[in-house]
Amino acid sequence: MSLRSRALNYQNFIVSFPDERILQVTLNRPQKLNSIDKATSREIQEIWELFDNDESLWVGIITGKGRAFCTGADLQEWNRMNQTGEVNSMDAPGLAGLPRRNGKKPIIAAVNGICMGGGFEMVANCDLVIASSTATFALPEVKRGIVPVAGCLPRLTSTIGLQRTMDLVLTGRNVDAKTLHDWGLISQVVDAPADVAESAVKIALEMCKNSPDALIVGRQGVRMSWEYGNVEEAVSTLADQWYPRLMKGTNFSEGIQAFVEKRPPKWVNSKL
């Protein structure tokens, strides 16, 4: 079922389609700096699951409205849970379905402003990160007697290194977008918050010029090299399990034939 055919009215976020192949989720709780309560987290998680199963959608984007991208979980809700003895589980896939997401399609984080705690954990597992030059990032959990355990610690260590991750986790200090760009987490820094989502859409459109099968398999190959401890295991899994599936698809032969015939390829939606 197409995601567009469903009722997509939510209290704390907006679902839109900047292009027929692109899904955008915009966090819309500015009065709470786009913190995410448990109900909203489950709703957004479902959107990503539907996105992965909707053949017409190839690339996802997540961004925020107002001066924050996301300040993580709703700590007022956490406080109520602590008082009633309710356990706050950190099971996969985590806040808004992103920190430990195991989906198949690429998602771009368009960070428009404050990004901290669980919001930072979400970003650490996105496939590309675009950020406003005025965006700030932090893992302040240590200041509240908490530890970010939803997935960002090993991922940030792999991306920006041991000592830099230690710096963020053990001090809880703020860092700016330029610093994280220099450290390798952020792909592109844009001048104004209002331009971040637009820049993400432009990148998504560039991606959508390519085979949707290759987007899925190429992403899988990169992520396996990032997450596996053994390079040869990642290479073998990609070559033995994913490449044969890629070759069976219509787009594999179409791309080669279009090159030989000197014409633009005519991609079809991926069946992977």
Indicate whether 112 and 16 sit together in one domain.
yes
Name the pLDDT band for 83 (thresholds 50, 70, 90): low
165 and 217 in a single domain? The answer is no
**Residue 203 within a domain:** yes
CA 213 → CA 3, 12, 39, 157, distances in Å? 19, 32, 33, 30
Same domain, 138 and 27: yes
Could you tell me the residue range of the domain that residue 114 belongs to? 3-207
The answer to the question of residue 160 being in a domain is yes
Residue 6's pLDDT band (cuts 50, 70, 90): confident
Same domain, 17 and 88: yes
Whether residues 152 and 254 share a domain: the answer is no
Confidence of residue 86 (pLDDT cuts 50, 70, 90): low
pLDDT at 242 over 80: yes
Contact 155, 120 (CB under 8 A): no
pLDDT score for 126: 97
User: How many domains does the chain contain in total?
Assistant: 2
Of 141, 227, 232, 261, the active-site residue reads 141
Comparing CA positions, the residue from 54, 17, 12 lying closest to residue 31 is 12
Does residue 124 belong to any structural domain of this protein?
yes
The answer on pLDDT for 78 being more than 70 is no
Same domain? 167 vs 38:
yes
Q: In this structure, are 178 and 249 located in the same domain?
A: no
pLDDT band per the 50, 70, 90 thresholds, residue 223: very high
Is 267 part of any domain? Answer: no
Tokens of 239: 């070559």
Dihedral of alpha carbons 39, 42, 48, 51, sign:
negative
Are 56 and 94 within one domain?
Answer: yes
Task: Tell me, yes or no, whether 53 and 186 share the same domain.
Answer: yes
Query: Alpha-carbon distance 216 to 131, whole Å?
Result: 24
When pLDDT is averaged across residues 198-226 and rounded to a whole number, the result is 97
Is residue 271 situated within a structural domain? no
Indicate which CATH number applies to the domain containing 17.
3.90.226.10
Residue 1 clears pLDDT 70, i.e. is over it: no
pLDDT digits (tens, 9 = 90+) for 92-126: 789 999 999 989 999 999 999 999 999 999 999 99
pLDDT for the residue numbered 192: 82
User: For the chain, what is the mean pLDDT?
Assistant: 93
Give the whole-angstrom CA distance, residue 5 versus residue 80. Answer: 36
Same domain, 190 and 226: no
- Specify whether 121 is catalytic: yes
Burial 186-211 (b: 16+ CB within 10 A, else e): bbbbbeebebbbebbbebbeebbeeb
Which residue among the candidates 20, 121, 206, 232 is catalytic per the annotation? 121
